[in-house]
Structure formats: structure tokens, C-alpha cells
Amino acid sequence: MKIVSPIDHRDEAAALLAAGADELYGGYVPAAWQARFGQLAPINQRTFAEAQIASHADLTEIVQQAHDNGASFSLTLNAPYYTASQLPLLLDYVDGAVTAGVDGIILADLGLLRQLSRRHPSVEFHASTLAHLLNSGAAAFYAQQGISRIVLPRHLTVAEMAEIIAENKALRYDVFMLVGKCPNTEGLCTFHHSSPDKIWPCEIPYAMAAVAPPPSPTLRQAMQRQGSWSSTNRRHGCGLCAIPGLLQMGIHGVKLVGRGAPTAQKIQNLRLVQDFMVLAKSSLTPADYRRKAMAAHHQRFASPCSPNVCYYPEFYEAE
């Protein structure tokens, strides 16, 4: 199982690869796109400069460093959709990225996928979580259009993931592992993440109320769950407890969130996951493994585990 790390700067490539990254992913905004569309239409799902590789030259160097170390690089191009007027720039952009040697493209727009899969058949196309592939039929349909790898949505259970994998064995699958858990369904979320303070819409506390009381048990549970998010930190997202199960399922890669995060945090996350990949293959009992994972979460984030920030809450149990 590979460890997939974000990267934002060429200067951090060597450190991330040395810390255990098997694959890197990131994005950059070409000058032509910035001049024409600016922040009104981000080319990928990051709207601040710290989360973007600075230039095509830097991208080329990062890709070369990855390849020199036996790793790969995938370009993030995961806006939910693009317009026809943007397509010429996008095609030139991807042509340049392929020339730079990128191994994969992470995307969601079906029309763009159809064009690129014909234009660059040697590139591995990943379905982003923005593609919102929730079942085996959706996965099979995207595979017909050129996808060979899927980043499974955050809110799927491990059992649901296993069903998709069992029905589409020719595909490769990534799942999230550390930081960035969100209460919203990413493929359906229309919030714009452009706050200069980097406080995103899902982090703003708000109250839910039933239109016609009394609320149903299901609605009451949803209201309580939403209210509890104000007391947890989505940046503490964690899936360490699930690693043994993910290995058994045949997951290809565990993906670390963190484009725009400091290099030191990326390295810390890489080393933590690498340690637990080793532990997952040891003779530890499931209970002992889980206790170590929960203790590591507490040490990493100085915060106790919570079902809100657990990527695989079926593994969560109150202490």
C-alpha cells in the first residue's frame, strides 16, 4: 500500500520522499489561467498561493526528483467542472504537464476526462472525490470513460468501499488517511473556499432547526451531529485504526491531505503513517494496534479521538 503525499514547493520534494512518500500530488496555476480567470474560477480545489506549485519549471523539477527516487507524481485538476471557454487553456496546460513527465491527472469533470483520455492515453487518470463515485456502477461508468484509479469519497464506510472494489477489480483505489476530514459531502458541496484567513465554510458554527417540530429521530441525530462539529477540529482527521483493514481490502494508496500545509507537518504525517503501516503487518492484536493508533492520534494532535474526525468511524469506540 503506497503513501501519497501532497507537495507545494520544489524545495520540499527531497524531504517528503526521504520521509516515506511513494507518490506525490499537487497543482499549479499557469500564468495564462491566472490572468484570464483569477480567483473566480480556480483551476483546482485550492484558492491560495501556498497550496500551488510556483511554476512549470518547478513542476518539472518535482516530477524529476520523484522519478529519480522511484516515486510518481499526479497533477491535481479537480474542479467539479470546467466551461467550454476554459477548455483550450486546459488542454495546453495538460499537454505541458505531460511533457514535464507527470504520471497521473486527478480530475472530476467527465467531459474533460473524455477528451484527455483520448489525447494522453499513457497517463493514469484518477477520479477525484469531487467526481462523487458512491457505488460500483458509478465506478464502472467512469472506468469506461478512461479512469483507472479512484479516490474513494470520505464518507463511504469501509464495507461500502469493499463492495465497490469487489465489483471493479481492474481499478486501483486510494483512501484518505490524515487531516482534512469534513462534515460535508465533497462532491455535492458548493461552498467556495476562498477566505484569506483560511477558515472554510464547514468550520463556521451554525445551528440547525426543524421547520415543523418535533423533528424525526433521524433529523434530530443530524442536528446533534452538526452541532458537535463546533467542538472538534477537522484538521485532526485520522484513519490510522483502519490501516490493517485497508491492507486486506487491497487499497492501492493512503492519501494524506495537506496542500498548503507547512513542510514539517507533511513530514510528520508521512512518518506517522509509515510507522503504522509497519505495525499493521506485525503480530500485534487488533486491540493493541488500535490502542497504539488512538494514542498516536492524541500525541499528534493533542486532542482525543472523535467520530467526527475519524475517517472510518466504524472503527471508533468511546473509551
Lowest mean pLDDT among 34-43, 64-73, 245-254, 278-287: 34-43
Rounded Cα–Cα distance for residues 313 and 290 (Å): 13
Other C-beta atoms closer than 10 Å to the C-beta of 209 total 8
Q: What is the pLDDT of residues 138-150, one digit of tens each?
A: 999 999 999 999 9
Stretch 68-97: mean pLDDT = 96
Return the DSSP state at 69: T
Lowest mean pLDDT among 7-11, 234-238, 261-265: 234-238
More confident site: 80 or 59 = 59
Are 153 and 174 a contacting pair, CB within 8 Å?
Answer: no
Are 254 and 273 a contacting pair, CB within 8 Å?
Answer: yes
DSSP bridge partners of 245: none
Rounded Cα–Cα distance for residues 76 and 265 (Å): 20
pLDDT of residue 187: 82
pLDDT higher than 60, residue 107: yes
Q: What is the mean pLDDT of the chain?
A: 91
pLDDT of residue 202: 74
pLDDT higher than 90, residue 218: no
Q: What is the pLDDT of residues 28-58, one digit of tens each?
A: 999 999 999 877 788 998 888 889 999 999 9
pLDDT of residue 318: 41
pLDDT higher than 70, residue 87: yes
At 317, is the pLDDT very low, low, confident or very high (cuts 50, 70, 90)? low
pLDDT of residue 274: 97
What's the distance, CA 272 to chain centroid?
17
Residue with cell 460500483: 136
Judge if the upstream peptide bond of residue 6 is cis by omega within 30 degrees of 0: no
* % of the chain exceeding 70 in pLDDT: 99
Stretch 281-297: mean pLDDT = 94
Would you list the DSSP string of 177-226? Answer: EES---SS-GGG-------TT---GGGS------SSSSPPHHHHHHHHHH
What are the structural domains of the chain? 2-187+206-315 (3.20.20.70)
pLDDT higher than 70, residue 20: yes
Q: What is the pLDDT of residues 150-174, one digit of tens each?
A: 999 998 999 999 999 999 999 999 9
Answer whether 0.85 is exceeded by the pTM. Answer: yes
At 221, is the pLDDT very low, low, confident or very high (cuts 50, 70, 90)? confident
Stretch 76-85: mean pLDDT = 93
* % of the chain exceeding 90 in pLDDT: 72
Rounded Cα–Cα distance for residues 246 and 234 (Å): 22
pLDDT higher than 60, residue 319: no
pLDDT higher than 80, residue 226: no
Stretch 119-129: mean pLDDT = 97
